[in-house]
Structure 1
Amino acid sequence: MLKHIVMWKLKDHAEGADRAANAIKMKALLDGCATIVPGIVKFEAVLAQPGLEATYDVVLYSEFTGEDALNAYLDHPEHVAIKPFIGAIRLERQCMDYEV
């Protein structure tokens, strides 16, 4: 199994909206990718929650059956289509993939 974890810190204002509105839109776009390819075992996009410690605004925690499934997700047209919006609103991005 391959885990794919990505964290984004968003700009205060981008694409005509504030950080909170962009985070909500980003989560909805990510949620739309949850079942786009076979081999996605778990797919959870979450927003920082008030009252809990968070240094990033949006986190994607996902698990794939293997590298082929992850690559199919990364290259899928629906995933590729959301990248320009995310790129425009993000300030920072961190990613880690690892096998278990």
Structure 2
Amino acid sequence: MNFRSTIRENKHGKEEPTYGASDPTNLRNFDKVGIPIDPMKDRRKKPDNHNNWRWNDSQKKWILHGEPKLKLSNGRVVTEKEWQRMLINRSGKT
């Protein structure tokens, strides 16, 4: 497979985003060859389901909206602030 990308120039001589087989939007070619894809660049699936992600077409990556959340081993989803409070409360109970 050929993974070269080409650079286009607009009419003002400025470079535009690349396109071709190595463009992360052409993900099927990467899957065929077995090249791992960065989860932030894979538009087919969100990096995780417990945060609020939105796809940004201009940057071609997932953007986190809102406060980051953590998923605990018991399945509970907490914000980072809640997690810090839980750690502080538990460390004081020795």
* Greater length-normalized contact order (CA 8 Å, ≥ 6 residues apart): 1
Larger Rg: 2
- Is the TM-score greater than 0.5? no
Query: Which band: TM-score by shorter chain?
Result: under 0.3
Indicate the structure with greater helix content. Answer: 1
Indicate the structure with greater strand content. Answer: 1
TM-score (norm 1): 0.26
TM-score (norm 2): 0.27
